[in-house]
A and B are shown apart, each in its own frame.
Chain A
Amino acid sequence: MASVVLEQASVDLAIFNSRGRALKSEILRRTIGGDLRDERDRSVQVVRALDQISFEAHDGDRIGLIGSNGAGKTTLLRVLSRVYPPTSGRAVVDGRVSTLIDLSMGMDTDATGYENIVMRGIMLGLDATEAKAITADVEEFSELGDYLSLPIRTYSSGMMLRLAFAVSTVVQPDILILDEIIGVGDARFKDRAEKRVQNMISNASIVFIASHDNGAIRRFCNRTLWLKGGKLMMDGAPDEVFAAYNPEEHTPAE
C-alpha cells in the first residue's frame, strides 16, 4: 500500500553566484575576508521554497496542487518523487513513484529508438528482460514503426515526444505525479495519450496533479492542496479550495 507523509517539511534553496561556488573564495572568506562577525556568506542567497508543509496521503487519494507561479508546486512534486530530500522536517514516500514531468529524461540522441526504450526501461527500475518486454507495448502505442531503428536525433520533435510519452507511461506506478495534464502529438495521438494517462490515474494508488486548469482538477481529483509562497494554505475538497483560492487570486492588484 502506498502512502505519503509530510511533517513540517521545508526546502531551502541556496542560490549561488559564481563567487559562491569557488573553493578559493570560501577559504578566503573564512580566513582573511570580511568582517570577523559576519558568519553568513553574502554571495549565497537562500530561498525558502517550501515552508513547513504537513499532510498525509493514502490509497485512493487523487490530489490536485494549485497555486500561482512560483508558489512551490514543482518543488513539492520533487519532494514527493524523493528527488529533493527536505532540508528540515520529514517526508516519507512509500511506493513506486513515476513522474511525468520531463518525458525525455536521459534519452541518448545518437542511440536508436529501440536502444532508448531499453535504457528508459532500466531507468524506470526494470531489469533487462522486462525492459525488452516493454518494447512491443511502446512500439504499438507510439506507432513509430520502422523509425524506431533509426537514431532519435533524426526524429521530429513530435515523434520524439511520442516515444518519450510511450516509454514514460508503460510502467504502472503506485504513486503518479503529473505537472499539468499532458497533451502531446497530433489530435489522434492526443486522444490515445489522454486515455492512457487516465488509465494510469485510475490504476495508481495515489496521484498528484499540479495544474492551472481547474477543470482538470475537478475532473480527476478528490482533494486539493493550495500552495502560496511555499506555505500550504488549504487542504480540502476541490470545490472548497477553489472557493477560497479564486477570489484571492483575482483581486485586482495589477
Chain B
Amino acid sequence: MSLVALGASDVAGGFKSWRMWWMLAKNDVVRRYRRSRIGQWWLTLSMAAMIGGMSLVYSGLFNTPMADYLPYLGTGLVLWGLVSSVIIDCCLSFTEAENIMRQIALPRFTYLLRTIGRNLLVFGHNLVLLPIMYFLSGSPVNWYVLLFIPSLLLVLANLAWAGYMLAILSARFRDIPQIIQSVVQVAFFISPVIYKASQLRIDHPLLVWNPFASMLDVMRAPLLGQMPSLWSYGMLAALLVVGWLTTLAFAGKYSHRVVYWL
C-alpha cells in the first residue's frame, strides 16, 4: 500500500470511530466546567467581555464608529478563537491521549477529530454572540451568509491536515507546541483581526500570502454581508490539496511510530 493510501485509511478509520471521539470531545468540554455556576457558558461570557472591551478601546484608537467596528472585531475574534485553538490544541492531541493510546488501538486520526470536535463545540458556544452583536450594531445580513458553512468546512479541512502533521511532530519533538503558540500569537497581530484589511493596500503581502488572512476572509465576509475574495478561496483550495497529499504521506509513514514516542 502506498504511503498516501495508508494515511488515507487512517483518516477514514478516524471518521468511522465517530462515537468514540464525539463522546470524548463532549466530555472534554463538560469536564472543564463541572461544578461551576453557568457551566460552559463561561466560554461565551469571557469571549463577550473580550469583544466588548477591545472594541471600545480600538474603535477609539482607529477612529472608526463602534457600529462599524464592533461586528468586524467580534466576528474576527470568535473566528480567530476557533482557528488558533484548533492549531494549538492539535499539537497535543496525541500526548493528551497517551493513556488511551497505550491501552486500545484506534486509528490515529480519531484523536485529531476529538480535538477538532471539542473546539467546534466551544466555537458553537461563542457563535451565539454574533446575532446579538449584529442586532445591536445594525449590521447587514444578506444571502452571502449561506457561504459561511462551506467556507467553515474548507477552513476546517485545512486545519485538519495541519493539525495532524503537528500532532505527529509534537509527539516526537516536545518543544513544538511552544513554538506553535508563539507563531500563532505573532499571526494574531499581523493578520487582519484587530485592524481592517482595507487599512492596508490590497496587494500587501500580509494579506496576499497569509493563509490566516484567507481563512478569516472566507468566513468573516459572508457573515458581514460581503463576498469573500476569490484569491482567498483559491489559496485555501490549493493549500487543501497540497497539504493533504503531504500529510497523508507523512502520516502513512510515521503515524504508527507515535505510540512509541509517548
Instruction: Using CB atoms and an 8 Å cutoff, list the residues of chain A in contact with chain B.
Output: 13-14, 16, 18, 21-24, 26, 78, 81-85, 87, 97, 99, 101-102, 105-106, 108, 110-111, 119, 122-123, 127-128
16 additional A-B residue pairs with CB within 8 Å, beyond A23-B169, A24-B175: A16-B261, A18-B174, A23-B173, A83-B259, A84-B259, A84-B260, A85-B259, A99-B104, A102-B103, A105-B104, A106-B100, A108-B31, A110-B34, A119-B23, A122-B23, A123-B104
B-chain residues with CB within 8 Å of residue A122 when the two chains form the complex: 19-20, 23
Contact assessment for B175 and A105 in the assembled complex, using a CB-CB cutoff below 8 Å? no
- Residue of A14, A82, A128 near B19 (CB, 8 A) is A128
Contact assessment for B102 and A23 in the assembled complex, using a CB-CB cutoff below 8 Å? no
For chains A and B in complex, what number of residue pairs have CB atoms within 8 angstroms? Answer: 65
A45 nearest CB across to chain B (Å): 13
Main secondary structure of the interface of B (DSSP, over half): helix
Instruction: Tell me the bound Cα distance from A24 to B99 in angstroms.
Output: 27
- Known contacts: A26-B173, A81-B104, A122-B19. The answer to whether A105 contacts B260 by CB under 8 A is no
Q: List 13 A-B contacts (CB under 8 A).
A: A16-B261, A23-B176, A81-B103, A81-B105, A82-B105, A83-B105, A83-B259, A101-B103, A102-B103, A108-B27, A110-B34, A119-B23, A123-B104
Contact assessment for A123 and B20 in the assembled complex, using a CB-CB cutoff below 8 Å? yes
Contact assessment for B101 and A83 in the assembled complex, using a CB-CB cutoff below 8 Å? yes
- Known contacts: A83-B103, A119-B27. The answer to whether A22 contacts B260 by CB under 8 A is no
Main secondary structure of the interface of A (DSSP, over half): loop
B20 nearest CB across to chain A (Å): 6
B-chain residues with CB within 8 Å of residue A82 when the two chains form the complex: 105
Q: List residues 217-252 of chain B with CB under 8 A from any CB of chain A.
A: none
Instruction: Tell me the bound Cα distance from A141 to B202 in angstroms.
Output: 69
Instruction: Tell me the bound Cα distance from A128 to B20 in angstroms.
Output: 10
Most buried by B among A16, A83, A99: A83
B125 at the interface (CB under 8 A from A): no
A-chain residues with CB within 8 Å of residue B99 when the two chains form the complex: 105-106
B-chain residues with CB within 8 Å of residue A106 when the two chains form the complex: 99-100, 103
A-chain residues with CB within 8 Å of residue B169 when the two chains form the complex: 23
Q: Which residue of A lies closest to B101 (CB)?
A: A83
- Residue of B23, B103, B179 near A23 (CB, 8 A) is B179
Q: List residues 157-183 of chain B with CB under 8 A from any CB of chain A.
A: 169, 172-176, 179
Contact assessment for A111 and B27 in the assembled complex, using a CB-CB cutoff below 8 Å? yes
Contact assessment for A99 and B31 in the assembled complex, using a CB-CB cutoff below 8 Å? no
Instruction: Tell me the bound Cα distance from A102 to B179 in angstroms.
Output: 34
Instruction: Tell me the bound Cα distance from A97 to B102 in angstroms.
Output: 14
Contact assessment for A105 and B174 in the assembled complex, using a CB-CB cutoff below 8 Å? no
B-chain residues with CB within 8 Å of residue A18 when the two chains form the complex: 174
Contact assessment for A123 and B100 in the assembled complex, using a CB-CB cutoff below 8 Å? yes
Contact assessment for B175 and A22 in the assembled complex, using a CB-CB cutoff below 8 Å? yes
Most buried by A among B31, B101, B175, B261: B175
Q: Which residue of B lies closest to A151 (CB)?
A: B34
Contact assessment for B102 and A78 in the assembled complex, using a CB-CB cutoff below 8 Å? yes
B256 at the interface (CB under 8 A from A): yes
- Residue of A24, A83, A119 near B104 (CB, 8 A) is A83
A75 nearest CB across to chain B (Å): 11
A-chain residues with CB within 8 Å of residue B261 when the two chains form the complex: 14, 16
A89 nearest CB across to chain B (Å): 13
A-chain residues with CB within 8 Å of residue B172 when the two chains form the complex: 21
Mark each residue of chain B from 1 to 30: 1 if its CB lies under 8 Å from any CB of chain A, else 0. 000000000000000000110010001000
